[in-house]
């Protein structure tokens, strides 16, 4: 039986408020056994934790501050988020990273926020899930500098070249592949052909970046199957192989997830 893991899905956001239960059931019915939910900012924590509490064996929350949410007072936000680790269990740190696509003015603050959350990954012995847009070299450099043999995680929504993929793999990190790989202009499938699946995990980034043939519609975890099938066809591999390898990779990343409360 095929089993998939969605390593990155914002299933708690407003776009799912009217049909969250049905949407999650569709994912389960489409062989998605687990879904990992990255946080965005303070406003999303409660809805994320509430949804995960309703599906404790299927949905798993992360804690982090998205780079596009880094604004005035972000260090105070991070202080409060850090206190949350005393009360709740998180599967990873994230999503965090650097996004310079729209605006370069917050570069220094985003870097500082990213570095602090990298330290969380070390302190709490958790994987880190990295958002990097128009900043892939920079995020790789920062992880390389901070690594010290104590970091693992995912470069979410990977859109880099082969050299960048090799640098990520050399760090022991994985590349997250979602619906964008199915778009005509994407070259990421060529990178996957070169590196193989040993450091690849699947994701949806729901409700964003729906794969073909659902492009333009709200994305959801059930659509992970379209991405898996596209990769299987592109690499001339059985779907079962793509599912087995990527699911094994995801389990390996999150295998330190515990049921007890994480303590400082």
Residue at 199 is within a domain: yes
pLDDT averaged over 10-residue windows placed end to end, the chain, 264 residues: 96 97 98 98 98 98 98 97 97 98 94 98 98 98 97 98 98 98 97 98 98 97 98 98 98 70 34
Cβ atoms of 38 and 64 closer than 8 Å: yes
Residue at 185 is within a domain: yes
Tell me how far apart the alpha carbons of residues 249 and 182 are, in angstroms, rounded to a whole number.
Answer: 21
Q: Which domain holds residue 228?
A: 4-253
pLDDT of residue 81: 98
Nearest to 177, CA basis, from 163, 152, 197, 147: 197
Residue at 86 is within a domain: yes
Residue at 34 is within a domain: yes
Cβ atoms of 126 and 99 closer than 8 Å: no
Query: pTM score, two decimals?
Result: 0.95
pLDDT of residue 78: 98
First to last CA, the chain: 39
pLDDT of residue 103: 87
Domains in the chain, number: 1
194-216 in b/e burial notation, b at 16+ Cβ within 10 A? Answer: eeebebbbbbbbbbbbbbeeeee
Cβ atoms of 32 and 2 closer than 8 Å: no
CATH classification of the domain holding 175: 3.20.20.140
Residue at 258 is within a domain: no
Residue at 264 is within a domain: no
Residue at 262 is within a domain: no
pLDDT of residue 255: 84
Cβ atoms of 64 and 94 closer than 8 Å: yes
Residue at 162 is within a domain: yes
SS3 230: helix
């Amino acid at each position: 039986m095929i089993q998939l893991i969605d390593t990155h899905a914002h299933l708690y956001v407003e776009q799912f408020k009217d049909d969250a239960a049905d949407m999650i059931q569709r994912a389960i019915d489409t062989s998605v056994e687990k879904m990992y939910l990255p946080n965005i900012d303070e406003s999303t924590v409660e809805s994320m934790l509430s949804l995960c509490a309703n599906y404790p064996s299927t949905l798993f929350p992360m804690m982090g501050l998205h780079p596009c949410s880094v604004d005035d007072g972000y260090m105070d936000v991070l202080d409060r988020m850090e206190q949350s680790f005393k009360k709740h269990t998180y599967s990873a740190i994230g999503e965090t990273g650097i996004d310079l696509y729209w605006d370069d003015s917050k570069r220094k603050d985003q870097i500082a926020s990213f570095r602090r959350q990298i330290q969380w990954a070390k302190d709490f012995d958790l994987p880190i899930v990295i958002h990097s847009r128009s900043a892939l070299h920079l995020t790789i450099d920062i992880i390389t500098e901070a690594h010290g043999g104590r970091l693992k995680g995912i470069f979410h929504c990977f859109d880099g070249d082969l050299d960048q993929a090799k640098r990520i793999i050399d760090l022991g990190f994985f590349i997250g592949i979602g619906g964008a790989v199915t778009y005509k202009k994407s070259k990421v499938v060529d990178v996957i052909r070169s590196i193989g699946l040993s450091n690849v995990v699947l994701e949806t980034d729901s409700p964003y970046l729906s794969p073909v043939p659902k492009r333009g519609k709200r994305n959801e975890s059930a659509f992970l199957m379209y991405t898996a099938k596209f990769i299987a066809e592109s690499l001339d591999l059985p779907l079962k192989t793509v599912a087995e390898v990527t699911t094994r990779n995801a389990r390996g990343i999150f295998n330190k997830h515990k049921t007890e409360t994480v303590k400082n």
